[in-house]
């Protein structure tokens, strides 16, 4: 599960990765023509919309790609850097940068790119940016109130607007495609080209179909969390869903068996209840843990049997269904739920005058379990909630 740093790729190797990514970044920008100020500002005077096309194509491709990765559980979005929002600082900073764009002809990334191929104006621009940072640093007491005001945390745009991720993504794709179309019309007008901006050639048909695929993709990658929560909100569905169960006696037996190292109990009750009473070999979990990278490791340990318990049986089944849908293996729920375990084992009342051999055995086993298990429970140290050791990556500029 991504991000690969710092597990698969160490923080030091990450610097090499940064270098390689930078080389590709620089090469793509240069090949696209971002190394000349005349082409860059063309966007604002209508004679060259290359920047708009490259920028928005890249933005929507990456956006849809991330939705896809998150949908298939390949990336833990809780660990990915989401730019924080300081509303007024973002707006005023953006306007200043916009002014800087038409005055200076570059933005920082493109200036580095242009400087690399010898553009003197770009080298001067970088010097200016360097001075700008110093001005900000030295004038920090003046900028600070604005810089730190209106902190909204790190919300996503669709959450802010209260719409679904899919609709927002679709709107962005449609916005980009519409932008490309209008840009082509304006560009031709400004440059005095009479040919229609979009013609029925394989080239335009190709672009339009890729755009259409992206627009549709906005809907085929729903937010997994939202869709799974919806799936388990139907109680009759939850009850019909086929999940393996484990009987209270088997659980009691395996809890008492010291050699059994395969059993692990995943407890979804709240922290308070868990603190009061927790079974041996159990770990406290939350529903969010199921989607996270760190807790994820616990559920994927080989050959372990994961028994899900929760405040009631239906809740445990819901969690098990979500885990099952997420592709986790060897998940079982406790038959009758935790309450049954408490009633039938821990508070076992002996069957009087056992008639069959089965009842005889039940009496014998449960009486033994009733005396042994409380000791194990007493000695058990509660584990969890699974701590997020991994912190969100610090990104941005």
Partner 1 sequence: MEETKYMNPYLAGVLLGLLLLATIYITGRGLGASGAIKSYAVTTVETIAPSHAESAKFYKEYKNEHTGSPLMNWLVFEVTGVLIGAFLSGLISNRLDFKLEKGPRTTTRIRIIGALVGGALWGIGSQLGRGCTSGAALSGLAVMSFGGIITMFAIFAGAYGFAYFFRKFWI
Give the footprint of partner 1 on residues 65-94 (CB under 8 A).
Answer: 65-66, 69, 74-75, 77, 79-87, 89-94
Specify whether the CB–CB gap between 171 and 59 falls below 8 A. no
93, burial (CB in 10 Å: exposed 0-12, middle 13-18, buried 19+):
middle
117: which residues sit within 8 A by CB, 6+ positions away? 30, 35
Exposed, middle or buried: residue 49 (CB in 10 Å: 0-12, 13-18, 19+)? buried
Whether residue 113 contacts residue 35, with contact meaning beta carbons closer than 8 Å, is answered with yes
Shortest approach of partner 1 to residue 222 CB, angstroms?
A: 14
Q: Is 173 in the site for partner 1 (CB under 8 A)?
A: no
Which listed range, 143-151, 310-318, 338-346, 352-360, lies at the site for partner 1 (CB under 8 A)? Answer: 143-151
Nearest residue to 331 (alpha-carbon basis) of 308, 352, 354: 308
Nearest to 279 by CA among 343, 371, 328, 346: 346
* CA neighbor of 65 nearest in space, from 169, 138, 164: 169
Nearer to partner 1, 174 or 243 (CB): 174
218 binds partner 1 (CB under 8 A): no
Which one of residues 10, 72, 145, 159 is an interface residue with partner 1 (CB under 8 A)?
A: 159
DSSP codes joined into one string, 252-276: HHHHH-TT--SEEEEE-S-HHHHHH
Count of all residues that appear for the chain in the document: 397
H or E stretch at 256: helix 248-256
Q: Quick check: 196 binds partner 1 (CB under 8 A)?
A: no
Q: Least Å distance between CB 10 and partner 1?
A: 12
Pair 34, 55: CB distance under 8 Å: no
Nearer to partner 1 among residue 147 and residue 328 (C-beta) = 147
Instruction: Choose between 47 and 365: whose C-beta lies nearer to partner 1.
Output: 47
Q: Is 174 in the site for partner 1 (CB under 8 A)?
A: no
Query: Closer to partner 1 at the Cβ: 32 or 298?
Result: 32
- Count CB neighbours of 390 within 10 A: 16
Binding track over 282-311 against partner 1, x by CB under 8 A: ------------------------------
Among 10, 72, 117, 273, binds partner 1 (CB under 8 A): 117
Residue 130 vs 237, nearer CB to partner 1 = 130
Tell me if 97 contacts partner 1 by CB under 8 A.
Answer: yes
Q: Which of residues 326-355 bind partner 1 (CB under 8 A)?
A: none
The nearer residue to partner 1, 81 or 361, going by C-beta atoms, is 81
163 sits near partner 1 (criterion: CB under 8 A):
no
User: Does 222 participate in binding partner 1 (rule CB under 8 A)?
Assistant: no
Task: Give the binding range for partner 1 (CB under 8 A) out of 168-176, 192-200, 231-239, 276-284.
Answer: 168-176
Under the binding rule (CB under 8 A), the answer on residue 213 touching partner 1 is: no
> CB-based burial of residue 173 (10 Å sphere; 0-12 exposed, 13-18 middle, 19+ buried)?
buried
Asked if 29 touches partner 1 (CB under 8 A), the answer is yes
DSSP state of 262: S
């Amino acid at each position: 599960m991504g991000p690969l740093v710092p597990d698969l790729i160490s923080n030091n190797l990450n610097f090499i990765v940064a270098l390689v990514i930078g080389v590709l970044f620089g090469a793509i920008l240069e090949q696209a023509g971002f190394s000349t100020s005349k082409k860059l500002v063309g966007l604002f005077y209508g004679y060259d919309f290359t920047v708009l096309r490259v920028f928005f194509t890249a933005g929507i491709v990456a956006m849809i790609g991330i939705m896809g990765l998150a949908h298939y559980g390949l990336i833990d979005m809780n660990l990915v850097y989401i730019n924080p929002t300081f509303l007024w600082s973002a707006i005023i900073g953006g306007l200043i940068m916009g002014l800087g764009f038409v005055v200076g002809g570059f933005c920082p990334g493109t200036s580095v790119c242009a400087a690399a191929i010898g553009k003197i104006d770009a080298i001067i621009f970088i010097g200016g940016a360097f001075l700008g940072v110093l001005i900000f640093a030295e004038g920090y007491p003046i900028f600070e109130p604005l810089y730190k005001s209106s902190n909204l945390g790190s919300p996503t745009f669709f959450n802010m607007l209260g719409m679904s991720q899919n609709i927002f993504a679709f709107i962005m794709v449609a916005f980009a495609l519409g932008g490309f179309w209008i840009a082509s019309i304006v560009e031709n007008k400004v440059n005095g080209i009479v040919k229609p901006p979009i013609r029925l050639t394989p080239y335009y048909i190709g672009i339009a179909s890729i755009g259409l695929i992206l627009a549709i993709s906005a809907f085929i990658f729903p937010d997994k969390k939202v869709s799974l929560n919806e799936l388990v909100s139907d109680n009759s569905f939850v009850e019909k869903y086929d999940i393996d169960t484990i009987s209270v006696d088997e659980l009691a037996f395996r809890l008492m068996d010291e050699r059994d190292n395969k059993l692990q109990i995943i407890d979804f009750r709240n922290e308070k209840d868990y603190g009061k009473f927790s079974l041996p070999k159990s770990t406290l979990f939350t529903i969010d843990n199921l989607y996270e990278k760190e807790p994820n490791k616990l559920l994927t340990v080989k050959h372990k049997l994961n028994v899900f318990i929760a405040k009631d049986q239906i809740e445990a089944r819901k969690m098990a269904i979500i885990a099952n849908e997420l592709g986790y293996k060897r998940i079982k729920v406790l038959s009758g739920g935790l309450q049954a375990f408490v009633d039938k084992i821990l508070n076992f009342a002996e069957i009087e005058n056992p008639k069959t051999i089965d009842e005889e055995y039940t009496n014998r086993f449960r009486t033994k379990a009733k005396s042994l298990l409380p000791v194990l429970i007493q000695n058990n140290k509660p584990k969890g909630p699974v701590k997020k050791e991994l912190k969100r990556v610090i990104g941005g500029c």
